[in-house]
Amino acid sequence: MKRTFRAIAIALAVFVHCVAVQADESTGQLIRREAPKGITAAFFACIDKASSDRIAIAACHSDEQAKQDARLNKTYKALLARLGAREKESLVGAQRTWLELQTRSSVFEEALYGDEPISGMQVKLNGIFRLCERANVLEKYLSIAKDQ
């Protein structure tokens, strides 16, 4: 009984500490902890400025999505220019598969998260993170292709 009470007390103390730490962090800082390398600092600043204004948050998401999409497309084109015919064909196929996965992941997340506005924002953020992660991968491939 004493062990159970002690475990509950420790768990409660850890929970209260985590809530207190998160209360000191801005939304941008919380998102930054989960974000892949490559998400712009302007995005985090925009999210903090938007506070709880859903329209402003949606604008932040749209701006960052456009930046990540442009980054991905620029890198993709640069990589294609460095590859031979066989590698180009393979990359195009991989990119088409990735696009299909992106679409299917979004559809699944929309069903999983539901119809609440906050859920839609999470689905959008997940999509932005996937764009960024794919751009990161393509940049890595480009650096390898440049070394050859």
What pTM value is reported for the model?
0.80
Confidence of residue 98 (pLDDT cuts 50, 70, 90): very high
Contact present, 83 and 91 (Cβ < 8 Å) = yes
- The tokens describing 48, both together, are 């903090």
- The tokens describing 68, both together, are 């990540």
Single out the residue of 65, 75, 67, 61 nearest to residue 137, CA to CA: 75
Residue 71 burial (CB count, 10 A) = 19
Q: Tens of pLDDT along 112-147?
A: 988 888 888 999 999 999 999 999 999 999 999 987
